[in-house]
Amino acid sequence: MSKPRVAFFDFACCEGCQLQVANFGEALLDVLKLIDVVEFREVMSEKSNEKYDIAIVEGSITTNHDIERIKKIRNTAKVLIAYGSCATIGGVNGMKNNFPLEKIKKYVYNKDANYFDTIATKAVHQVVKVDYFVHGCPIYQPEFIEVLKSALRGLPYKVPDYSVCVECKLNENECMYDKGITCLGPITRAGCNSWCINNGNICYGCRGMVTNPAKNAQMDVLDKYKIPLDWIKNKINMYNKAGEQAPEEK
């Protein structure tokens, strides 16, 4: 039986999530036994010639040309996986949406602004149907493997819809707020095993917001530590400005 043909594509991004996949090490060899990679610009020069079963898409949609291209990919693929915050929630590219589009175009491209087909940043699901989401900036490798296995088996993958704090507590980390540092863990969806906090950093909200953020609890925390609400809003905007909440994951 032939293996599913898998093609990796990128839109506006830093390609860091592709690198994460390329750096899987032994886990990648296991994955390669299950699939035929027919296009993956970061690691090979071959092209899929539009023959693939699964499209794995990195990056945000930021031009009208991107819209045409992602629609074509969607029409070809039986399954579409969006991976990395740029693709799943707009990510850092969404910071552009904090400003009027014409103003930001002029700021970046100056007199050449009219030559650029830039639109407000969108996550992939805001343009085409997405079957699976792998959140994170960059993606958390174990989750990517889980999602890919689910897609290959035709099974659903449910992204956790509780906060990073849950994983953080299970990992017995000292809370950043107790050290006088702000952290978006209380309102950010888990699934990364509180990766950043385990390594001495804070949560920046790269996986997007949980469906029902505990706003009152977050406000209580801000009150307790005398932290201005604007600081938190700015942090949220870094990753979450473009994306609406991702729809119910498959």
First to last CA, the chain: 26
Query: By CB under 6 A, is residue 242 in contact with ligand SF4?
Result: no
Cα separation of 237 and 97, whole Å?
A: 9
CB of 75 to ligand SF4, least distance (A): 24
Query: By CB under 6 A, is residue 58 in contact with ligand SF4?
Result: yes
What is residue 63's three-state secondary structure? strand
Query: By CB under 6 A, is residue 197 in contact with ligand SF4?
Result: yes
CB 141 within 8 A of CB 20: yes
Q: Per residue in 25-50, is it b (16+ CB within 10 Å) or e — as a string? A: eeeeeebeeebebbbbeeeeeeebee
Query: By CB under 6 A, is residue 35 in contact with ligand SF4?
Result: no
Cis status of the peptide bond prior to 4, with omega within 30 of 0: no
Query: By CB under 6 A, is residue 95 in contact with ligand SF4?
Result: no
Q: For the chain, give the longest Cα–Cα distance.
A: 62
- Give how many residues touch ligand SF4 by CB under 6 A: 35
Please, which residue, 128 or 137, has the CB nearer to ligand SF4?
Answer: 137
> What token pair was written down for 219?
């406000």
Please, which residue, 49 or 199, has the CB nearer to ligand SF4?
Answer: 199
Near ligand SF4 by CB under 6 A: residue from 124, 195, 210, 232? 195
Near ligand SF4 by CB under 6 A: residue from 37, 92, 123, 147? 92
Query: By CB under 6 A, is residue 147 in contact with ligand SF4?
Result: no
CB-side neighbour CA atoms (13 Å) of 236: 17
Query: By CB under 6 A, is residue 203 in contact with ligand SF4?
Result: yes
Query: By CB under 6 A, is residue 137 in contact with ligand SF4?
Result: yes
> Rule CB under 6 A: which residues touch ligand SF4?
13-17, 58, 84-86, 91-92, 136-138, 164-165, 168-169, 173, 175-177, 183, 185-186, 188, 192, 194-197, 203-204, 206-207
